[in-house]
Structure 1
Amino acid sequence: MMAGSSLAAMSAAHAQDKPQGQTAASADPQPYSDDIVVTAQKREERLLSVPVPVTAVSADRLLSEGRTRIEDYFSQVPGLSLLASGSGQNTLAIRGISTSSSTNPTVGIVIDDVPFGASSVTSYSSRLIPDLDPSDLARIEVLRGPQGTLYGASSMGGLLKYVTVAPSTAGVSGRVQANIEQIDGGGLGYGARAALNLPLGDDIALRVSGFGRRTAGFVDNLTTGEDNVDRSRSFGGRAALLWQIADNVSWTVSALAQDTKGNGANNVDVANISVLNAPLTQTRMPGTGQYRSKVTLVTSNLQIDWGDTSLVISSGYNRSVYRSMADSSPAYGPIAAQIVGVSGATFAVDYNTEKLTQEIRVERKFGEHADLTLGGYFGNERTHGAQIIDARVASTGSFFANLATIKSQTKLDELAGFGTLTLHFGRFSLQGGGRYARNEQSYPRDARGPLIGNGFSNVHSESGLFSYLISPQFNITDKVMLYGRVATGYRIGGPNPNAAAGAPASYAPDKTTNYELGLKGTFFDRLATVDASLFHIDWNNIQLSLSNPLNGLTYFTNGPRAKSEGAELALTLAPGGGLTVAATGTYNVAELTTNLPAGGGYGLDGDRLPFSSRYAGSVSADERFAIGGSAQAFVGATLTYVGKRYGDFQRTAALVRTVMPAYTTVDLRAGVDVDKWSLSLFASNVGDKRGIIGGTTNGLQQTPTGPFNYIYIRPRTFGVSVAKRF
């Protein structure tokens, strides 16, 4: 592990930032951030040469600091926001583009350029982000702004991209790592990881990896008397095979799996919405709070090169399974008491999504004058879902009667064609591109129970959408680049199965248009590295999520317009002597630009969009120094600020939005590197701040004095990590 200035792209690069085909263990460390290679445009390019605002997070650094989940590191990525819903559910937003945790996702997810997960909220997709362990990742790339031309649906706010370490024929290499951590006042966590790269000949290589971890908890259940109920266990692995069939033909196949079992929810109960620093406790019915999340991905990537022309055939199959059962007594207990005479109730969900994708693209270079990419995409999604509301005996959690059962099967097929053309005129380049996508969607649904009645429905929808990209680029010098970007992104619409009286039977797609000016480069012989951007995003026909007041179920509608505009900066200073200082800053005004319509929820012109900070940023400093022979030591600290955020829009003016106050955390780290051994010590949230990253009502209506719950960041945590490469 090399010490760097921050987790993000502007920090000193790590060995795992090498292009695919080289392993981190066999590559030499890269000393400067402009050597980092990313695949934001589906091809390997230097980070500072890509006319896209992108942050690359080092997976190696995440492991050394015990940051194994998105909620541990999202705050250090400019423009990235997270809303936690408990029991392993997280919703992401980039540049404030979101209206709810219960709408179609606005951030696309890809793993090695294969789209992962569903595009429809009826598949629970907005909350089920694949929170991959960094054990065999090279890096995580976060692309800010709409990415509809290259990546299609659900990327209207941006993209989260997991990039795995590729097999290499260069030689045998590997890595083993173990860590342990203690939450102050909470539980003990630990983990172990191993990876091996094994050439099977001159043209075949196999890479295998595996991990297991126990994530410590810190919330106590007063009803059952169990401490640290929000602990979880995760395990998984990956195998990848590279076959260099010929000098110009390579084929890589891989399989990845991860299984997470949560013992309980991490929601903290509070008496009313104004209580911000409550004891880390909850009251939950016995047998509730558990969840299980399983991720499976199989990919195939065939690349054939003919001189300046390449053919890439990328195929993928992924499966996401999620099950949980929550104590919903505050919401449905009064209804259960009225219908069947008991005061306890649970809300269980069971979702199984399978997705097949196929992309074929041709890339052609016309000397130094032009680059052309043409491609086609097909995606097939199938989700079997169930939502079950049961009446239960509150004291024991035993089943009493079913109140409602909704079983559904979401079907979505998408077909798209896309292309980009980049023209080069000396120091000036101009890129343009477009994508046309058409989707068909159906939602057969069977509803049973006294709460919702009995009935079957099958709603069908289809739509076609065009997105485009225009990006001029000017290389002021060989190391400084100025770019502009006009780009669009979109979300699909869909059926409206739980609509309240007067709500539409379906809702329409929405679209964002991004206008941006950016500067990237290194200055003063790499003393300073800068990545800065100014942006304005117009958002039309915004999708809204509302709650049916009769049964608490979610339905959807479209609103008018919103905007997101602001500035982002990442700055690294490397004055020499082993010192690196880095800073990131975000200013983001994400708000409605017209009032929400009647029946579309309560929101006025100028009201903030959900869970985005107006101000956010981080400052870090790291010092590396020799201590004798080949040994080096390092020390570092990071200060992170997350600004005030708001929750979802509410149905009426009488109901309240969640307010999540600003918070500041300080993290410390130190360690030693000796030959191929690394020892890292870390302390996160050393001030033990109660940063809120989620909050919601416990009842059907969110009132100031009603039962409420918050989700907090981890309290003060101490840990140690030991790793060896070979």
Structure 2
Amino acid sequence: MKTRFATSLLVSVAWATPATMMLATAAHAADAVPTAPQASEPEIIVTANRRNEGVQKVGGELTALSNADLERMHASTFNDFATQVPGLSFQSYNPTTNLIAIRGVASSTAELGGAVSLYLDDVPIGASTQFGLGSQSFNFNLFDMDRVEVLNGPQGTLYGANALGGAIKYVTTPPKLGETSAKIELDGSATDHAGTNGAARAAINLPIGQDLAIRLDGNVEHDTGWGHDTARGLDHLGSADVVGGRLQVLYQPDDKLEIRLSAFAQRSKANGLDVGFYNLSNSTPVAGAYDQQYAVNQPSITSVAVLSGTISYDLGFAKAVSVTSWQRNHGYYQTDDSVFYGVIVPIYASVYTAYFGAPTVGASPYSLLVDTNTSKVTQEVRLQSPSNHTVEWVAGFYYDHEYTGELVDLLYTASPNGQLPAPYTNYPFYGWLPSHYTEVAGFGDVTGYLGDIFDMTVGVRYSHQSQAYGSDISWIGILPVVQNGGIALDPTYSYESTSSQGVWTYLFNPRLHVSKDVMVYGKVSSGFRPGGPNFVLPASFGSTVPSTFQPDKLWNYEIGEKGSFFDHRLTFNIDGYDIEWTNIQTTQNVNGINQLVNAGNARIQGVESNFVLRLVQGLSLTGAGAHTVARLTTPAPVLGLANADDRLPLSPRWNFSVGATYRFDVGQTRANASITDTWTGQRTSGYQGSATNVYYSLPSYNTVNASVGATLASGLELSVYVRNLFNSKGQLSAVTLNNALSPLFPVPVTLAQPLTGGITLRYNWGGK
């Protein structure tokens, strides 16, 4: 299959090149005499390939959102821009974290390992393993971000593990030498069906002498929730409070040496979930669209603290860069699992009642508590050659060590302390799961140029991962044992395991420059996600899950075009790809406990495109869209699937956004108006025909956002915005765990933010 597609790729290149040449020739008849861009904005400079280059020069699909773009969207978190990025989809675990899928690379809504790598500047954020809940991507606040880069497709050679589907890089605004400036921002809004939101944000840049500068920013946010619990009479469920700040120091004594130190911390606290209860059969609400009924509270807290230091020195023949970081990630989540465990736990308890005279255990309520702490140290050292357009190269070394302590308790909340009644001595489930992860990797790429016509990048990375895992668990489903002369109904079971694995990843990226502004490229790239030791239960429990699970790997075959036409009035990019995904990692629930397994293989094919059209001075139209077909190519018994061809969850077949922005002057006041229409197609949660990963259809939905703003000569900005103008009740994601027991149980569905109107007041002072 790979050979067949590689042949098709070459044929497509041969076909597309003359066609693109014709369009380029028509648009650039005077290419030898460059003309000034008409009504164009400066091209965003990105660091996707570990060097500074224009976004239109990167040989792959890349969405770059500048600070101006984020402010125009009034985007404060990932959810505010995600639907406008082609090929990007997500599931909201809670208001503080998301599971992110790019190009359909997601096996289930319950997977524990991340398939998208997350970066803050050059620092990888989050746990690399399933035991640290690596799939739960942290929601960074976007205030004072220089840009966000979303890289579609595997980035295994430069970004290493967990970049199967792609990578998202949050790039902060750096300190600026010789500049005194400040920015203050106040935001207030109201959400239909909910309440009011508010935020205060500030940043200051201070020079200290000629070669030192500091930048300090902070933010406090409150977002109201729109969930309504009709059983307990609670409103504003899903509300979240965020506090964060960042301190950066830049020291640059000359043109060769640059030292940048950074300290960042953010804490997000949420109360409940933004969900409504929906019918499994027809995807309609059980009662009101935002109504839910839970037995217990579901708080969540996530926090990240990062210290990093980046040193770069120009050696002449290359720039040496060292990036050192320490971080601590903490996640605390409580979820109401009364329905699922309210069936399973009483079944086990009834057996012990019959044989040992233990008391009966009620069907409700049960709360699952997960408390995870990960400490992570990383070191990257690399050499980067100058950009000479002859031979350019990058070579480096990467080291990562992580320790994760994960506490998992299933609480019987009918009891004051969460424990089962005597003679039980513990919770229905108790688990202490410590683990260590170490990764050592070497990587490099070389780009060779044939004049200004053709260049090709070849990259490789070898990564070796070692893991040690232990568990101390007690579960009512484990058979009683004789202990201290008596019968222990909930004995503690201890287990330890290690694993050691090595993985190669590759990149082949040819680029043909049809003209100065038009490029056709091909890309063959690979990525992986680490395997590791498994969560093994006693043999008496009847589990046949192996003691280790393997890395899953992915190959991506891609062809694309990037170009600017008609004196840069039109920018148009398009690409097509074919992905082969093997040994897919997922979770398998065995008698109430999730275990890590490899499920089979999948194939994902798609097309992505985006454009910017500048019609007249100040008026521009934008658009982006993707078509994704993601299906299993083998049976997946662990998912309850005996046949191939089942659709992968989360990703829509189609998604697109179109928008218009108009900038104009009124006297000395600069004004702007924008509107964006985003359409997200039908998606799935689970798989059709699976009794364990139950299928739910998430209908397509449409949202319209609009804003009007003005900037005075004094630097004061005022903008008015509306999100979800027509109050679409978009269904973002769903969890069907309970429906493995019965299709009649309601499905908790995470909903898009209802109609929200707000005002932002921003003041910029100083600067150059």
| Counterpart residue identity of residue 577, structure 2 | F
- The answer on whether the counterparts of 1:87 and 1:324 sit within 8 Å (CA) in structure 2 is no
Deviation string 1:128-147 (CA, Å, 9 cap, x unpaired) is: x1211011211111000010
| Counterpart residue identity of residue 334, structure 2 | M
- The answer on whether the counterparts of 1:66 and 1:179 sit within 8 Å (CA) in structure 2 is no
Once residues 227 and 388 of structure 2 are traced to their aligned partners in structure 1, the CA distance between those partners, rounded to angstroms, is: 61
Once residues 337 and 512 of structure 1 are traced to their aligned partners in structure 2, the CA distance between those partners, rounded to angstroms, is: 42
Q: Give the 3-state SS of the residue equivalent to 1:121 in structure 2.
A: coil
1:708 aligns to what? 747
1:180 aligns to what? 188
Q: TM-score, normalized by length of structure 1?
A: 0.91
Q: For 2:365, which of 320, 344, 350 is the aligned residue?
A: 344
**Shift, 1:33, TM fit:** 5.2
- The answer on whether the counterparts of 1:601 and 1:650 sit within 8 Å (CA) in structure 2 is no
Residues 32-41 or 398-407, more deviating: 398-407
Q: For 1:535, which of 577, 597, 611 is the aligned residue?
A: 577
Mapping of residues 574-723 of structure 1, within 5 Å: 574-596=614-636, 598-602=637-641, 604-628=643-667, 630-649=668-687, 652-653=690-691, 656-675=694-713, 676-697=715-736, 699=738, 701=740, 703-723=742-762
**Shift, 1:379, TM fit:** 0.3
Residues 331-340 or 81-90, more deviating: 331-340
Q: For 1:241, which of 237, 249, 255 is the aligned residue?
A: 249
1:431 aligns to what? 457
| Counterpart residue identity of residue 512, structure 1 | L
| Counterpart residue identity of residue 117, structure 2 | G
Q: TM-score, normalized by length of structure 2?
A: 0.87
Once residues 31 and 241 of structure 1 are traced to their aligned partners in structure 2, the CA distance between those partners, rounded to angstroms, is: 36
Alignment: residue pair count = 690
1:204 aligns to what? 212
1:354 aligns to what? 375
Deviation string 1:396-439 (CA, Å, 9 cap, x unpaired) is: 99766521110111211000000100111112111101000100
Q: For 1:318, which of 313, 327, 330 is the aligned residue?
A: 327
| Counterpart residue identity of residue 449, structure 2 | H
**Shift, 1:482, TM fit:** 1.5
Residues 99-108 or 314-323, more deviating: 99-108
- The answer on whether the counterparts of 2:536 and 2:545 sit within 8 Å (CA) in structure 1 is no
% of aligned pairs identical?
31
Q: Give the 3-state SS of the residue equivalent to 1:71 in structure 2.
A: helix
1:252 aligns to what? 260
**Shift, 1:88, TM fit:** 2.7
Mapping of residues 402-417 of structure 1, within 5 Å: 402-417=427-442
Residues 275 and 283 (structure 1), Cα distance of their counterparts in 2 relative to 1, 3 Å cut: same
Residues 603 and 65 (structure 1), Cα distance of their counterparts in 2 relative to 1, 3 Å cut: farther
2:304 aligns to what? 295
**Shift, 1:392, TM fit:** 1.7
Once residues 103 and 534 of structure 1 are traced to their aligned partners in structure 2, the CA distance between those partners, rounded to angstroms, is: 29
Q: Give the 3-state SS of the residue equivalent to 1:704 in structure 2.
A: coil
Superposition RMSD on alpha carbons, in Å?
2.1
Once residues 582 and 155 of structure 1 are traced to their aligned partners in structure 2, the CA distance between those partners, rounded to angstroms, is: 28
- The answer on whether the counterparts of 2:280 and 2:746 sit within 8 Å (CA) in structure 1 is yes
Residues 535 and 118 (structure 1), Cα distance of their counterparts in 2 relative to 1, 3 Å cut: same
Once residues 221 and 130 of structure 2 are traced to their aligned partners in structure 1, the CA distance between those partners, rounded to angstroms, is: 30
1:308 aligns to what? 317
Tell me if 1:126 matches 2:135.
yes
Residues 600 and 170 (structure 1), Cα distance of their counterparts in 2 relative to 1, 3 Å cut: same
**Shift, 1:87, TM fit:** 5.0
- The answer on whether the counterparts of 2:420 and 2:428 sit within 8 Å (CA) in structure 1 is no
Larger Rg: 2
**Shift, 1:600, TM fit:** 4.8
- The answer on whether the counterparts of 1:698 and 1:707 sit within 8 Å (CA) in structure 2 is no
Q: Give the 3-state SS of the residue equivalent to 1:227 in structure 2.
A: strand
Once residues 366 and 199 of structure 1 are traced to their aligned partners in structure 2, the CA distance between those partners, rounded to angstroms, is: 30
**Shift, 1:245, TM fit:** 3.4
Tell me if 1:106 matches 2:124.
no
Tell me if 1:331 matches 2:371.
no
Once residues 610 and 619 of structure 1 are traced to their aligned partners in structure 2, the CA distance between those partners, rounded to angstroms, is: 25
| Counterpart residue identity of residue 383, structure 2 | V
Deviation string 1:197-222 (CA, Å, 9 cap, x unpaired) is: 10001000000000000011111122
The answer for unaligned runs of 5 or more in structure 2 is 1-37, 350-359, 422-426, 479-489
**Shift, 1:390, TM fit:** 1.2
Residues 586 and 272 (structure 1), Cα distance of their counterparts in 2 relative to 1, 3 Å cut: closer
- The answer on whether the counterparts of 1:531 and 1:571 sit within 8 Å (CA) in structure 2 is yes
Mapping of residues 130-529 of structure 1, within 5 Å: 130-270=138-278, 272-277=280-285, 278-279=287-288, 280-286=290-296, 288-337=297-346, 339=349, 340-342=360-362, 343-365=364-386, 367-393=388-414, 402-426=427-451, 427-452=453-478, 453=490, 454-498=492-536, 501-529=543-571
Deviation string 1:228-248 (CA, Å, 9 cap, x unpaired) is: 121111011000000113331
**Shift, 1:272, TM fit:** 4.0
Deviation string 1:630-672 (CA, Å, 9 cap, x unpaired) is: 2122222111111111113489458631211111111121121
